[in-house]
């Protein structure tokens, strides 16, 4: 069974165990119809079209004739590309990890798959800096921590510590 | 007596922004009180003044909006009486004798009485909480009821008990008919949604004809057709009885397009209890189990002291979209239900902690009954409150969600507790303030706190590098708390102020610090809302988790719900992509959703355009407070994602849904050139054709139905006859056609083909008319009548031809 796609995608052959010669066939696209090599690393930067199909084909006679593989398309989300579909092809029904050929397609629709953001900040702390919680203290309105709306009463001593932080020293004994 | 009506009045939905009516000036809002009123409204509609029925106004969908006139079955302002009666004129008065005999013998009748079953007939303005209260009390004491009939005729008292919905959605404020007409569902994966409990519907269509619709009459008819006609014939318009499975399938979920539902009969089951359990984990830990129906998510049995294990029937996975663990995971609260015999439900806590037994059942006080239904306020037994045309119960639809510890905080709505308790957010934010303060003092965080939830264990500078900016944000938190305590803003507005202060900085370091605090607060709020617990209560007290005391949170809500097959890998990718969107909007835009993602599982519906189309369907609800910048963006993104043809989610009819005709046909069938007669949308459109003269009666059409293609798209040829053929020396031939049973906008043309193959086209003809042409050439003349209808860029045709001998 061919796999249907809608809209604009990129394509990359990401695995091929070379059990058989492999190739890809694109049909119904706006301008990318044809046969593409099944070699790992083969890239088609953009395939567009209202509705187009991808089939993975193998040859068991050295390239004279080509047979469509059994295909298995699995959508997933990756931190780098967002919505992708990996199409696995094999001459039998196998788990994706055992497939003869794997092709990754990245959805290039910026509305439903905008480029994901890659946080440059790491919200981490060394394991030894996690401490057991303090004993639970019942709080009432009168003993809740007093918070000054201007912050002036507490900020000045802390601000002086910022220099230490900027210098890379640990924030202790402030 | 004239039907109450308001002209040029504002019309709004429950979850819209207060002060900003959805329709500032609705042309007409009518408040019918009876079947006769509905018939009068539909029969006397002025051309161009289209209608749409409205119930509780709980819908979040544009499907609720009328082009012109709203027909209110339950006035949300409680000024005019609701059509909320329980009816006894059909059940039991028109039930067939054969059916009653089977009911007495407890013979299983497929699609009617597979299990101990009772039947309840009610008007369309009755709310869910009202009906579950009435069902719980039962109606054996009413001499007109089915239970009383079974006792008097057969000596069978088996129907004298307490009854219950077999399933419900998560709230009870909607009208029952509104909920079932849009495909509302719960999380009971072993059964279909509430629409499938419908046994019969009584619909008044445009023009005033009204239809009693039931399943196909098989060996055991439910109603006696002659009795129905005796009851309803004789009005100003025609009454029809339709026994047809496909028509009932279509009418179960009809989104208001077929007409105004006057009443419904649903099957109910003996009252029962539910055991509920909530456990917390992460989305990342459970998502791999969803496709496997035998995974622990679905098959965790309930062990009971005596008797066999009870199988699980309900699953909900509620996810906090705001990440924890350095963005690597998302807390997920897993709720499971098991059915219990009612006598296994513990009693409600005694006063003063709890409520006394209800006055209509002083000897049975299962947990949840006094809290969620309470005493019957209208006496004597058959009396009704004139405003709801039904008995009023002290706690029905007025209380917080039932909770074993009376906290009411068991809703998965992220900020529900904030709505119920003004001090809640204050406490959470104060706590996070203290956590940050402590971190800055000690460079360590307490396990179990919000800050610890937001971060991950790891080496490197991590959040210590953010310390200066965390410190700078402490004064902002203090200002926020002062504002929260003093300015009286809504929860959504307060949260938006908090988000803005934390996430809006153009300094990426400060924004990162703000995101950390925001995530810590979100984690703490979620934890407070979803503490692990196990409890048992009467069915409706577990299923209806709505907080009816909330006046500030459940307004200005954006929400959508997307349906997938549980085994569809696109389901997991859909949720993952939403979660990725949230992370991106936090860092890139400084926006964030104040809401939740909830996955609920249900069985397959029989309804022709039901969203629950798969044996195990998953409904992914994405909801947020619109006052909070980021919620609308989040929900809109969910809608766009679902509508993408590569993803092919099905949107809930009753929530945010702007699907196009092409998107609907792609999901429900009946696309152009489709030839599958079992396509759900085709069956639905064929029923619409039956009730509206193939769309000629378009009084219940609306902007929503036209956009979504819930309309007649296929014209049909009526009649084309030769009214006066050529004869003798007179070659004139007159043709007559009538295609008036087609929607406005249908284009008619007539082509005359001579024996010598010359074509004379006649375009722009009326739907009915006559035409004469000269057939002055011997041989066959062909007259071809063509109809064409274009909707949303799709054109469909129909044609018929006649052969006439020329002279």
To the nearest whole percent, how much of chain B has pLDDT over 90? 73
pLDDT of res. B422: 59
- Residues of chain A with C-beta less than 8 angstroms from the C-beta of B421: none
To the nearest whole percent, how much of chain B has pLDDT over 70? 94
The vertex-A22 CA angle with A19 and A25, nearest 5°, equals 155
CA distance A163 to chain B (A): 9
Q: Give the mean pLDDT of B353-361.
A: 84
pLDDT in tens, B559-576: 999 999 999 999 999 999
Q: In this complex, which of B443, B516, B584 lies closest to A117 when CB atoms are compared?
A: B584
State the ipTM, two decimals.
0.89
Per the document, the length of chain A is 174
Q: Using CA atoms, how far apart are residues B724 and B721, in angstroms rounded to an integer?
A: 9
pLDDT in tens, B479-501: 888 877 776 666 677 788 889 99
CA distance A80 to chain B (A): 11
Q: Using CA atoms, how far apart are residues B646 and B372, in angstroms rounded to an integer?
A: 44
CB count within 10 Å of CB B624 equals: 29
In which band, very low, low, confident or very high, does the pLDDT at B689 lie, cut at 50, 70 and 90? very high
In which band, very low, low, confident or very high, does the pLDDT at B403 lie, cut at 50, 70 and 90? confident
Angle between helices B569-588 and B631-643 (to 10 degrees): 150
User: In this predicted structure, which of B19-33, B202-216, B255-269, B430-444 has the lowest mean pLDDT?
Assistant: B19-33
DSSP result, chain A? --EEE-S-EEEEEEEE--SS-EEEEEES-SS--EEEE-STT-EEEEE--SSEEEEEEE-SSTTSS-EEPEEEEEEEEETTTEEEEEEEEESS---GGG-SEEEEEEE--TTTSPPPP------EE-GGGEEPPPPP----TTTSPP--SS-TTTHHHHHHHHHHHHTT------
Q: What is the dihedral of CA B624, B626, B627, B632, to 10 degrees?
A: 100
pLDDT in tens, B84-128: 999 999 999 999 999 999 999 887 666 666 667 999 999 999 999
Residue B376: exposure state from Cβ atoms within 10 A (0-12, 13-18, ≥19): buried
pLDDT at A145 over 70: no
Q: Give the mean pLDDT of B251-277.
A: 96
pLDDT in tens, B703-712: 999 999 999 9
pLDDT of res. B480: 84
CB count within 10 Å of CB B320 equals: 29
pLDDT in tens, B309-332: 999 999 999 999 999 999 999 999
B374 φ/ψ angles, rounded to the nearest 5 degrees: 80, -170
Q: What is the dihedral of CA B120, B124, B126, B132, to 10 degrees?
A: 30
Tokens of A148: 């000054």
The SS3 assignment for B692 reads helix
Of B2-11, B49-58, B630-639, which has the strongest mean pLDDT? B630-639
Q: Give the mean pLDDT of B151-173.
A: 93
In which band, very low, low, confident or very high, does the pLDDT at B230 lie, cut at 50, 70 and 90? very high
Interface A–B counts its CB contacts (< 8 A) at 162
- Residues of chain B with C-beta less than 8 angstroms from the C-beta of A121: 466, 512, 515
Whether omega for the bond prior to residue B315 falls within 30 degrees of 0, making it cis, is no
State the sign of the Cα–Cα–Cα–Cα dihedral B420, B426, B427, B431. Answer: positive
Give the bridge partners for B774, in sequence order: B732
**In which residue are the tokens 């009932």 written?**
B248
Q: In this complex, which of A51, A75, A158 lies closest to B573 when CB atoms are compared?
A: A75
pTM of the predicted protein model: 0.91
- Residues of chain A with C-beta less than 8 angstroms from the C-beta of B497: none
Q: Residues 420..449 of B with a Cβ closer than 8 Å to A: which?
A: 430, 433-434, 437, 440-449
Q: Residues 544..583 of B with a Cβ closer than 8 Å to A: which?
A: 569-570, 572-573, 576-577, 580-581, 583
pLDDT in tens, B727-786: 988 999 999 999 999 999 999 999 999 999 999 999 999 999 999 999 999 999 999 999
pLDDT of res. B412: 41
- B224 neighbors B195 (Cβ within 8 angstroms): no
B440 and A171 in contact by Cβ < 8 A? yes
What does the mean pLDDT of chain B come to? Answer: 91
CB count within 10 Å of CB B615 equals: 12
Q: Give the mean pLDDT of B270-292.
A: 97
CA proximity to B607, closest of B255, B265, B172, B206: B255
pLDDT of res. B489: 66
- B212 neighbors B200 (Cβ within 8 angstroms): yes
User: In this predicted structure, which of B59-73, B494-508, B546-560, B666-680 has the lowest mean pLDDT?
Assistant: B546-560
- Residues of chain B with C-beta less than 8 angstroms from the C-beta of A171: 440, 443, 464, 467
- Residues of chain A with C-beta less than 8 angstroms from the C-beta of B671: none
CA proximity to B801, closest of B750, B757, B758: B750
Q: Give the mean pLDDT of B211-219.
A: 90
A130 and B444 in contact by Cβ < 8 A? yes
pLDDT at A168 over 90: no
What does the H/E/C string look like for B353-386?
CCCCCCCCCCCCCECCHHHHCCCECCCCCCCCEC
B308 φ/ψ angles, rounded to the nearest 5 degrees: -70, 165
With a CB cutoff of 8 Å and minimum separation 6, the contacts of B495 are B415, B418, B425, B594, B625, B627, B628
B580 and A77 in contact by Cβ < 8 A? yes
Per the document, the length of chain B is 807
Q: Give the mean pLDDT of B544-559.
A: 75
Q: In this complex, which of B430, B445, B637 lies closest to A125 when CB atoms are compared?
A: B445
In which band, very low, low, confident or very high, does the pLDDT at A172 lie, cut at 50, 70 and 90? very low
Q: How far is CA B423 from CA A140, B426, B429, B485, B764, in A?
A: 11, 5, 10, 8, 69
- B578 neighbors B321 (Cβ within 8 angstroms): yes
Q: In this complex, which of B466, B471, B515 lies closest to A158 when CB atoms are compared?
A: B471
With a CB cutoff of 8 Å and minimum separation 6, the contacts of B486 are none
pLDDT of res. A170: 37
The SS3 assignment for B274 reads strand
CA proximity to B607, closest of B328, B92, B246: B246
Alpha carbon A25 to chain centroid, angstroms: 25
CA proximity to B664, closest of B704, B634, B695: B704
State the sign of the Cα–Cα–Cα–Cα dihedral A29, B659, B51, B201. Answer: positive
Q: In this complex, which of B326, B444, B478 lies closest to A129 when CB atoms are compared?
A: B444
Does residue B486 belong to the interface with chain A, where contact is any CB pair within 8 Å? no
- B183 neighbors B250 (Cβ within 8 angstroms): no
pLDDT of res. A142: 53
User: From B637, which residue of chain A is nearest by alpha-carbon distance?
Assistant: A112
User: Strand B557-565 to strand A130-131: parallel, antiparallel, or no bridges (unpaired)?
Assistant: unpaired
- B593 neighbors B630 (Cβ within 8 angstroms): yes
pLDDT of res. B206: 97
pLDDT at A159 over 50: no
pLDDT at A64 over 90: yes
pLDDT at B70 over 70: yes
The SS3 assignment for B153 reads helix
pLDDT of res. B777: 93
Q: In this complex, which of B430, B464, B580 lies closest to A116 when CB atoms are compared?
A: B580
């Amino acid at each position: 069974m061919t796999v249907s796609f809608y809209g604009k995608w990129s394509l990359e052959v990401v695995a091929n165990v070379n059990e058989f010669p492999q190739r890809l066939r694109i049909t119904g696209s706006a301008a990318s119809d044809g046969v593409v090599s099944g070699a790992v690393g083969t890239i088609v930067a953009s395939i567009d079209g209202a509705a187009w199909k991808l089939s993975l084909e193998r040859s068991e006679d050295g390239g004279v004739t080509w047979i469509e593989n059994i295909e298995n398309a699995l959508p997933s989300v990756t931190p780098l590309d967002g919505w992708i579909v990996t199409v696995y092809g094999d001459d039998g029904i196998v788990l994706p990890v055992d497939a003869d050929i794997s092709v990754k397609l990245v959805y290039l629709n910026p509305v439903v798959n905008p480029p994901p953001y890659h946080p440059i900040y790491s919200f981490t702390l060394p394991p030894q800096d996690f401490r057991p919680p303090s004993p639970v203290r019942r709080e009432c309105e009168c003993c809740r921590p007093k918070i000054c709306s201007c912050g002036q009463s507490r900020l000045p001593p802390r601000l002086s510590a910022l220099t230490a932080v900027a210098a890379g020293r640990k924030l202790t004994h402030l | 007596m004239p039907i109450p009506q308001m002209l040029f009045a504002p019309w709004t939905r429950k979850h819209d922004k207060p002060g900003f009516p959805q329709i500032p000036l609705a042309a007409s809002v009518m408040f019918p009180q009876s079947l006769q009123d509905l018939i009068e409204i539909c029969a006397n509609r002025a051309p161009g003044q289209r209608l749409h029925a409205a119930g509780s106004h709980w819908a979040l969908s544009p499907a609720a909006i009328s082009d012109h006139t709203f027909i209110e079955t339950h006035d949300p302002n409680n000024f005019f009486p609701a059509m909320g009666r329980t009816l006894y004129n059909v059940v039991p008065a028109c039930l067939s004798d054969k059916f009653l005999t089977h009911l007495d013998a407890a013979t299983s009748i497929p699609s009617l009485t597979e299990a101990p079953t009772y039947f309840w007939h009610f008007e369309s303005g009755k709310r869910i909480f009202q009906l579950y209260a009435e069902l719980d009390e039962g109606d054996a004491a009413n001499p007109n009821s089915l239970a009383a009939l079974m006792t008097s005729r057969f000596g069978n008292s088996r129907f004298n008990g307490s009854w219950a919905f077999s399933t419900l959605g998560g709230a009870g404020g909607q009208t029952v008919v509104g909920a079932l007409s849009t495909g509302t569902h719960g999380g009971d994966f072993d059964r279909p949604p509430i629409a499938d409990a419908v046994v019969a519907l009584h619909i008044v269509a445009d023009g005033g004809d009204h239809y009693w619709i039931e399943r196909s009459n098989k060996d055991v008819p439910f109603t006696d057709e002659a009795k129905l006609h005796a009851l309803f014939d004789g009005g100003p318009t025609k009454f029809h009885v339709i026994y047809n499975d496909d028509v009932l399938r279509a009418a179960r979920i009809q989104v208001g397009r077929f007409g105004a539902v006057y009443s419904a009969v649903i099957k109910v089951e003996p009252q029962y209890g539910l055991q509920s359990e909530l456990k917390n984990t992460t989305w990342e830990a459970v998502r791999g189990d969803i496709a496997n129906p035998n995974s622990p998510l679905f098959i965790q049995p309930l062990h009971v002291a005596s008797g066999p294990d009870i199988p699980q029937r309900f699953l909900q996975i509620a996810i906090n979209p705001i990440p924890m663990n350095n963005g690597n995971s998302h807390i997920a609260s897993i709720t499971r239900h098991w059915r219990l015999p009612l006598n296994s439900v513990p009693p409600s806590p005694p006063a003063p902690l709890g409520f006394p037994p209800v006055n209509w059942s002083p000897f049975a006080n299962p947990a949840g009954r006094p809290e969620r239904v309470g005493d019957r306020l209208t006496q004597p037994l058959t009396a009704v409150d004139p405003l709801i045309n039904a008995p009023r119960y002290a706690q029905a639809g007025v209380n917080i969600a039932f909770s074993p510890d009376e906290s009411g905080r068991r809703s998965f709505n992220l900020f529900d507790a904030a709505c119920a308790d003004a001090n809640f957010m204050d406490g959470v934010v104060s706590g996070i303030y203290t956590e940050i303060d402590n971190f800055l003092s000690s460079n360590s965080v307490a396990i179990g706190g919000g800050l610890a939830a937001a971060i991950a264990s790891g080496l490197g500078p991590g959040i210590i590098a953010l310390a200066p900016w965390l410190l700078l944000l402490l004064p902002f938190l203090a200002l926020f708390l002062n504002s929260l305590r003093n300015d009286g803003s809504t929860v959504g507005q307060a949260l938006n102020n908090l988000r803005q202060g934390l996430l809006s900085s153009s300094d990426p370091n400060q924004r990162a610090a703000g995101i950390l605090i925001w995530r810590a607060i979100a984690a703490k709020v979620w934890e407070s809302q979803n503490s692990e617990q196990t409890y048992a209560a009467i069915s409706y007290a577990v299923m209806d988790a709505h907080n009816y005391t909330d006046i500030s949170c459940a307004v200005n809500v954006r929400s959508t719900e997307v349906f997938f097959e549980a085994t569809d890998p696109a389901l997991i990718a859909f949720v993952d992509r939403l979660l990725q969107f949230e992370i991106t909007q936090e860092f890139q835009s400084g926006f964030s959703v104040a809401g939740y993602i909830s996955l609920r599982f249900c069985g397959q519906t029989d309804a022709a355009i039901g969203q629950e189309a798969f044996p195990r369907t998953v409904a992914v609800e994405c909801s947020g407070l619109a006052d909070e910048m980021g919620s609308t963006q989040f929900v809109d993104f969910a809608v766009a994602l679902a509508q993408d043809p590569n993803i092919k989610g099905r949107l809930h009819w009753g929530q945010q849904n702007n699907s196009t005709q092409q998107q609907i046909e792609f999901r429900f069938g009946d696309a152009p050139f489709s030839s599958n007669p079992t396509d759900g949308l085709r069956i639905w459109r064929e029923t619409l054709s039956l009730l509206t003269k193939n769309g000629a009666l378009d009084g219940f059409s609306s902007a929503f139905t036209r956009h979504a293609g819930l309309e007649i798209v296929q014209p049909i040829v009526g009649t084309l006859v030769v009214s006066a053929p050529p004869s003798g020396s007179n070659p004139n031939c007159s043709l007559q056609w009538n295609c008036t049973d087609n929607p406005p906008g249908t284009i008619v043309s007539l082509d005359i083909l001579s024996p010598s193959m010359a074509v004379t086209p006649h375009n722009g003809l009326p739907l009915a008319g006559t035409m004469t042409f000269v057939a002055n050439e011997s041989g066959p003349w062909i007259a071809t009548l063509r109809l064409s209808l274009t909707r949303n860029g799709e054109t469909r045709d129909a044609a018929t031809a006649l052969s006439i001998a020329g002279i």
